[in-house]
């Protein structure tokens, strides 16, 4: 939300550096802002000072707009541009067929495939935010990602004015925001946080807040952002409470038929991401050894680190949303998440024809622990729903 750096040197052209699906970091709301950037942010984006980056306003002005272009694709045989109806997603015939999933689609111009939404220039989405955040004297840095020639754009906004401490770590409030002109996403934002030391992103910790985008609705969008930012202080307090609760919930592992990697496997995480999450938990908490137990917060942070550092899919995409939903279950309802894991491993043991002594002991331990989780679920149901409701109100 906030504006970004000035500097006397040449400023990179945001449009030139923002290829399809590529990221453009920014460091402030407007040119001339002075934004202190944490180490994780500088390292991730390869910059040393904020003056090396454009401002958010510069980035959004450099984005393409689907209003300004003709829908179509470049025919690979005739080398001519083929126009298509504006309300249809473009499919280049060159992409069709087996083995073409990785075909270069750079010559296609995607268009919104639905008449449910009007195309919105990026400035109509984030321009009002810049104005609102400037009035509130907020600092903002982050990264903007553009897909399909401006038809889909997502921005991760970090607000260092809003922070909270949990244990020895400090967390900063974030707003994940964006839009798509393909009938699947209105203008949206979700409140989350980022670990100031590691840069792990904790996404979608509130329900998605949306705003219709038919025609120019700048005033409506400004009021929408103003409501969201005015509740940022409440969101930081509530997020801190949720995470401290998760830090007090301990998940036993030593007596179970699964280790920390098996915990993530049972939550239907892909193998590579489950291994990455487990490696983070072990590295941070036990120096690389398998832990005998782990807090729900430690498990959640492992999942957040894996999604931040290892996930290669699209920010704002549905696959990431599904992964994040399972991670948030560990944070907001740890006994329910643990019960899901226990059910999975009980099924694995039940499918074996015979069990040795250790496996029979594991089966008994699972049954006992499952009873413990059910009692905890009842305790958490009221408190977690209350916290989530408060948090969603703070994000609204």
CA-CA distance, 108 to 90, in Å (whole number)? 7
Q: Quick one: DSSP state of residue 51?
A: G
d(CA 94, CA 101): 11
Q: Which of 169, 199, 230 is the last residue of a domain?
A: 230
Model-level pTM?
0.81
Is residue 99 domain-resident?
no
Q: Does residue 205 sit in the same domain as residue 252?
A: no
Say if 89 falls within a structural domain: no
Distance CA 196, CA 169 (A): 7
User: Could you give the angle at which helices 357-395 and 334-350 cross, rounded to 10 degrees?
Assistant: 150
- Shared domain for 271 and 297, answered yes or no, is yes
Position 111 in a domain: no
Counting the structural domains of the chain, the total is 2
Range(s) of the domain holding residue 188: 3-63+120-230
Shared-domain flag, residues 269 and 303: yes
Contact 204, 232 (CB under 8 A): no
Q: Please list, in sequence order, all residues whose beta carbon lies within 8 angstroms of the beta carbon of residue 334, skipping any fewer than 6 positions away.
A: 246, 249, 251, 296, 299, 376, 380
Find the helix packing angle between 296-309 and 232-248, rounded to 10°: 120
State whether 170 and 191 are in the same domain: yes
For residues 267 and 223, membership in a common domain is answered with no
Question: Looking at the structure, do residues 384 and 271 belong to the same domain, yes or no?
Answer: yes
Phi/psi class of residue 20: alpha, beta or left (left: φ > 0; alpha: ψ in -120 to 50)? beta
CA dist 349 → 158, 253, 337, 363, 364 (Å): 45, 16, 19, 7, 11
Are 185 and 256 contained in the same domain?
A: no
Contact 88, 155 (CB under 8 A): no
Instruction: Tell me the two tokens of residue 174.
Output: 């974030």
Of 230, 260, 291, the one marking the end of a domain is 230
Give yes or no: residues 146 and 203 share one domain: yes
Residue with tokens 């550096």: 17
Residue at 107 is within a domain: no
Residues 210 and 263 in one domain: no
**CB atoms closer than 10 angstroms to residue 81:** 12
The answer to whether 328 touches 296, Cβ cutoff 8 Å, is no
Are 169 and 274 in the same domain?
A: no
298 and 336 both lie in a single domain: yes
Residue that finishes a domain, picked among 185, 207, 230: 230
Residue 75 counted as domain residue: no
pLDDT tens per residue across all 396 residues of the chain: 222 222 333 333 333 334 346 789 999 998 877 778 899 998 888 888 777 899 999 999 988 665 555 666 677 778 887 776 655 555 555 555 555 455 555 555 555 545 555 667 788 889 999 999 999 999 999 999 987 767 788 999 999 999 999 999 999 999 999 987 765 557 899 999 999 999 999 998 888 888 876 656 577 889 999 999 998 998 899 899 999 999 999 999 998 999 999 999 999 999 999 999 999 999 999 999 999 999 999 999 999 999 999 987 777 677 888 899 999 999 999 999 999 999 999 998 888 767 788 888 888 888 888 888 888 887 777 666 666 676 666 555
Tokens encoding 11: 């400023």
CB 165 within 8 A of CB 184: no
Q: Which residues contact 341 (CB under 8 A, 6 or more apart)?
A: 258, 262, 263, 266, 267
Q: Which two tokens stand for residue 315?
A: 């920010």
User: CB under 8 Å to 287, separation ≥6 — which residues?
Assistant: none
Q: How far is 392 from 396, CA to CA, in rounded Å?
A: 6
Residues 6+ apart with CB under 8 A from 352: 359
Residue 322, in any domain of the structure: yes
Per DSSP bridges, beta strands 81-83 and 72-74 are antiparallel
Question: Do 226 and 252 belong together in one domain?
Answer: no
CA separation (Å) from 351 to 337, 355, 358? Answer: 22, 10, 16
- For β-strands 141-147 and 152-166, DSSP reports them as antiparallel
User: Is residue 88 included in any domain, yes or no?
Assistant: no
- Cα–Cα distance, 207 to 55 (Å, whole number): 28
Domain for residue 110, yes or no?
Answer: no
Q: Are 232 and 394 in contact (CB under 8 A)?
A: yes
Length of the chain in residues, anyone?
396
């Amino acid at each position: 939300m906030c504006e970004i750096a000035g500097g006397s040197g040449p400023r990179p052209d945001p449009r030139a550096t923002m290829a399809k699906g590529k990221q453009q970091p920014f460091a402030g709301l407007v040119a001339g802002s002075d934004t202190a950037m944490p180490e994780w942010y500088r390292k991730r984006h390869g910059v040393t000072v904020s003056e090396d980056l454009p401002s958010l306003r510069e980035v959004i002005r450099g984005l393409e707009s689907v209003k300004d272009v003709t829908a179509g694709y470049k025919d690979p045989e005739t080398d001519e541009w083929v126009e298509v109806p504006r309300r249809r997603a473009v499919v280049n015939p060159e992409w069709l067929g087996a083995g073409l999933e990785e075909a270069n689609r750079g010559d296609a111009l995607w268009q919104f495939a639905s008449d449910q939404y009007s195309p919105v220039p990026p400035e109509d989405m984030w321009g009002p935010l810049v104005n609102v955040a400037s009035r509130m004297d907020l600092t903002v840095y982050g990264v903007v990602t553009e897909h399909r020639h401006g038809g889909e754009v997502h921005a991760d906004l970090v607000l260092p004015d809003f922070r909270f401490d949990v244990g020895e770590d400090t967390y900063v409030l974030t707003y994940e925001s964006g839009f798509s002109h393909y009938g699947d996403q209105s203008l949206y934002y979700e409140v989350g946080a980022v670990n100031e030391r590691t840069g792990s992103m904790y996404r979608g910790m509130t329900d998605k807040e949306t705003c219709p985008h038919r025609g120019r609705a700048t005033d409506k969008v400004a009021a929408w952002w103003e409501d969201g930012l005015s509740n940022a202080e409440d969101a930081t307090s509530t997020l801190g409470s949720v995470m401290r609760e998760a830090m007090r919930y301990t998940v036993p592992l030593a007596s179970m038929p699964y280790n920390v990697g098996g915990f993530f496997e049972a939550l239907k995480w892909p193998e590579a991401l489950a291994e990455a999450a487990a490696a983070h938990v072990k590295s941070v908490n036990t120096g690389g050894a398998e832990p005998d137990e782990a807090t729900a917060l430690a498990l959640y942070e492992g999942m957040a680190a894996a999604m931040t550092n290892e996930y290669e899919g699209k920010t704002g995409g549905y696959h990431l949303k599904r992964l994040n939903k399972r991670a948030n279950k560990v944070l907001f309802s740890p006994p329910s998440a643990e019960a899901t894991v226990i059910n999975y491993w009980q099924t694995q043991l039940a499918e074996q024809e015979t069990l040795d002594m250790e496996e029979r002991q594991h089966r008994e331990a699972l049954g006992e622990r499952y009873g413990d989780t059910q009692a905890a679920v009842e305790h958490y149901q009221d408190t977690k729903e209350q916290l989530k409701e408060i948090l969603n109100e703070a994000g609204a």
